[in-house]
Amino acid sequence: MAARRATKKPAVSADELKTYYRDMLLIRRFEEKAGQLYGMGLIGGFCHLYIGQEAVVVGLEAAAEEGDKRITSYRDHGHMLACGMDPNGVMAELTGRIGGYSKGKGGSMHMFSKEKDFYGGHGIVGAQVPLGAGLAFSDKYKGTDRVTFTYFGDGAANQGQVYETFNMAALWDLPVIFVIENNQYAMGTAQQRSTSTKDIYHRGEAFGIPGEMVDGMDVLAVRDAGQRAVAHCRKGKGPYILEVKTYRYRGHSMSDPAKYRTREEVQKVREEKDAIDHVRDLLIDGGHATEDDLKAIDKEIKQIVNASADFAKDSPEPPLDALWTDIYA
């Protein structure tokens, strides 16, 4: 992707670049650690890692403001870290401990933070799409200009409720940004085997919803597209679609051997398009940071991630009476 990097000097400050580098690295190292804890049996059940897709949430969070909302599927750890949730609380939820965001009762797929306007963490493919539009509905109803980032994948894009939601979101001018995180595989099914259209965002045209394709391995491109989408929604012009082309390096979940694609395909993306390497190059080549500066960031991230793992191991399991709480408000 050298060609991509050479095309033009990006409009971004050194501090912003460093922040993006840091935030993306936090997600990657956190996810690697989660994978390790899963291997040790400390995390159970389903665990869907976000490695490879980091630029999507970090770029879009750079376009978000206080009070904007976000909601996503079960591949949600990256979204939580990007919106500022505490890595300790996220990791402790993964290990099913009382210190987790859902007191250990939600797990990897079901975490929430009212404080950070993060509305989950939903395990049924596509179900978060009408929920996200509903959050946007609540903002419009209350007369705020806040927007809701509603993330879903290329797999979810084939669920009927997505199009039911497109229709109502357009009909009612809901301030919702539909973010299609197209990592090109719906579990093991490649997009061309599951989806009649090449570019999924075009499906919005049938509902009068504008959209665009975004390079999801370029955090600056994602941020810029996010800003366009946010501006559109804040002005009351209704929904907007961003189809963000990205790639997941790991399997669909921990138990997926990913035999539906070649090792070379994965390796090629990692070597040529990696979003973190991209920002790293921008920082070094632009003279914004030295190798030592980045090493210091790496070290800080390693400490944060290790601390989260320690917290997640040390936090007690929920008390047994927690079985019976939080069923009714």
Partner 1 sequence: MAIDILMPALSPTMEEGTLAKWLVKEGDSVRSGDILAEIETDKATMEFEAVDEGVIGKLLIAEGSEGVRVNTPIAILLEDGESADDIGTAPAPAPEATADAGKAAAPAGGSNAPATPIPAAPDPTPDWPEGTPMVQQTVREALRDAMAEEMAADDSVFIMGEEVGEYQGAYKVSQGLLDRFGSKRVIDTPITEHGFAGIATGAAFGGLRPIVEFMTFNFAMQAIDQIINSAAKTLYMSGGQMGAPMVFRGPNGAAARVAAQHSQDYAAWYMQIPGLKVAMPYCASDAKGLLKSAIRDPNPVIFLENEILYGRSFDVPQLDDYTVPFGKARIWREGSDVTIVSFGIGMQYALEAADRLAEDGISAEVIDLRTLRPMDTDTIIRSVMKTNRCVTVEEGWPQGSVGSYISSVIMRDAFDYLDAPVLTCTGKDVPMPYAANLERLALITTDEVIAAVKQVTYR
Please identify, using beta-carbon distances, which residue of 13 and 138 lies nearer to partner 1. Answer: 138
Minimum Å distance from CB 74 to partner 1?
11
Q: Which two tokens stand for residue 127?
A: 């179900």
CA separation for the pair 128, 125 (Å, rounded)? 8
Minimum Å distance from CB 304 to partner 1?
15
Please identify, using beta-carbon distances, which residue of 15 and 264 lies nearer to partner 1. Answer: 264
Let me know: does 233 contact 177? Beta carbons within 8 Å.
yes
Please identify, using beta-carbon distances, which residue of 45 and 286 lies nearer to partner 1. Answer: 45
Let me know: does 174 contact 137? Beta carbons within 8 Å.
yes
Minimum Å distance from CB 6 to partner 1?
26
Let me know: does 95 contact 42? Beta carbons within 8 Å.
yes
CA separation for the pair 87, 216 (Å, rounded)? 23
Strand ranges inside the chain, DSSP E: 69-72, 118-121, 148-153, 176-182, 185-186, 189-190, 211-215, 240-245
Give the other-Cβ count within 10 Å of 291's Cβ.
10
CA separation for the pair 97, 95 (Å, rounded)? 6
Minimum Å distance from CB 280 to partner 1?
14
Please identify, using beta-carbon distances, which residue of 169 and 229 lies nearer to partner 1. Answer: 169
Going by C-alpha positions, the residue among 129, 131, 121 that lies closest to residue 73 is: 121
CA separation for the pair 150, 45 (Å, rounded)? 25
Minimum Å distance from CB 104 to partner 1?
8
Minimum Å distance from CB 287 to partner 1?
25
Please identify, using beta-carbon distances, which residue of 71 and 225 lies nearer to partner 1. Answer: 71
CA separation for the pair 310, 169 (Å, rounded)? 43
Q: Which two tokens stand for residue 145?
A: 């200009």
Torsion angle, alpha carbons of 90, 92, 93, 99, to 10: -100
Minimum Å distance from CB 244 to partner 1?
22
Minimum Å distance from CB 55 to partner 1?
16
Give the other-Cβ count within 10 Å of 315's Cβ.
20
Task: List CB contacts of 224: < 8 A, sequence separation 6 or more.
Answer: none
Please identify, using beta-carbon distances, which residue of 15 and 321 lies nearer to partner 1. Answer: 321
Please identify, using beta-carbon distances, which residue of 9 and 114 lies nearer to partner 1. Answer: 114
Strand ranges inside 20-167, DSSP E: 69-72, 118-121, 148-153
Minimum Å distance from CB 230 to partner 1?
18
